[in-house]
Amino acid sequence: MAKKSILNLASLKDQVYEYIRHQMKVGELRPGSAIDMNASSQKLGISKTPLRDALIRLEMEGFVNILPRKGVVVNTLTVQDIKDYYQILGALENTAVLAAAPLLKEKEILRMKELNERMDQAIKKDDFDLYYEENLKLHDVYLKRSGNKKLRETADILKKRLYDFPRREGYIKEWEQTSIKEHEQFIKLLEREKYQEAADFIRDVHWSFQVQKKYIRQYYSENPEKES
């Protein structure tokens, strides 16, 4: 009798993708480890086709590397990766702010203020998971308003690469508090309709590797590749 799949039949490829991503997030699949396709397909009770499709998507997003005749390896996040992702995110969010800012209404400004306050309260309670979710929502206010779906999707993938690979148990409290203050300054610029300054601030401060470097070094201190 065939083994019953632990996954639903609908959108099987997407479910396999989410399953593997979750395994990465919680640290079951560590950077540098290999993914055994035979063992994985047997564990999930599925054929290799949806598994292979999910892995191809993960390779396109930078999470794994499919090596011909050698298998699948979970990619390591290097210092150069982090630098590159910060530069790309800065450019993407700079573009999004310029597109969205003139369209932001009072309710959306208030929404960002509310989310930033929730972030502050979460950090005071040492609830980093809540802080992180509210942080994503704050940025998503203007990312959505930009009207560029592909931009949002790309930014989302890069943030997952940076912060869910795997999700670290600890966090840098000073970094989160600094980020909250940066959000306050950013929102004030939007309120004053200084849209170019707001866009530049997101790129040149909030997503600047050089500005955030001391915190990045602490957060990724377990990474074997150190910055020279």
Render pLDDT for 90-119 as a digit per residue (tens, 0 to 9): 999 999 999 999 999 999 999 999 999 999
Structural domain includes residue 228: no
Model pLDDT for residues 64-73, shown as the tens digit of each residue: 999 987 789 9
Half-sphere exposure of 154 (CA within 13 A, CB side): 15
214 with 176, same domain: the answer is yes
Q: What is the mean pLDDT of residues 15-21?
A: 92
Q: How many domains does the chain have?
A: 2
Domain span at residue 37? Answer: 12-74
Mean pLDDT in residue range 154-175: 87
Is residue 7 in some structural domain? Answer: no
Do residue 52 and residue 67 come from a single domain? yes
Last residue of a domain, one of 21, 46, 74: 74
Q: What is the pLDDT, as a whole number, of residue 224?
A: 41
Whether 56 and 95 map to the same domain: the answer is no
Nearest residue to 32 (alpha-carbon basis) of 81, 62, 76: 76
Structural domain contains residue 108: yes
What are 121-145's pLDDT values in tens digits?
999 999 998 999 999 999 999 999 9
Which pLDDT score, from 0 to 100, does residue 160 have?
Answer: 92
**Residue 212 located in a structural domain:** yes
**Same domain? 155 vs 194:** yes
Q: How many Cα atoms are found within 13 Å in the side-chain-facing hemisphere of 110?
A: 3
What is the tens place of the pLDDT at every residue in 192-228? 999 999 999 999 999 999 999 999 999 887 544 444 4
In a domain, 194, yes or no: yes
pLDDT number for residue 4:
54
Angle at 96 between CA 182 and CA 175, to 5 degrees: 25
pTM for the structure as a whole: 0.87
* 187-225 as b/e: b if 16+ CB within 10 A: bebbeeeebebbbbbbbebbbebeebeebbeebbeebee
Question: What is the arithmetic mean of pLDDT over 142-157?
Answer: 97
Mean pLDDT across 17-39: 91
Q: Residue 65 pairs with which residues in a beta bridge? A: 73
First to last CA, the chain: 57
Instruction: Tell whether 93 and 183 lie within a shared domain.
Output: yes
- Name the packing angle between helices 149-163 and 128-145 (round to 10°): 160
Residues 90, 119 within the same domain: yes
Q: Confidence class of residue 1 from pLDDT cuts 50, 70 and 90?
A: very low
Instruction: Assess contact for 219 and 175: CB atoms under 8 A.
Output: yes
> How far, in Å, CA of 224 to CA of 197, rounded?
37
**DSSP, residue by residue, 6-73:** SS-STTHHHHHHHHHHHHHHTTSS-TT-EE-HHHHHHHHT--HHHHHHHHHHHHHTTSEEEETTTEEE
Q: Are residue 103 and residue 207 in the same domain, yes or no?
A: yes
Does residue 57 lie in a domain region? yes
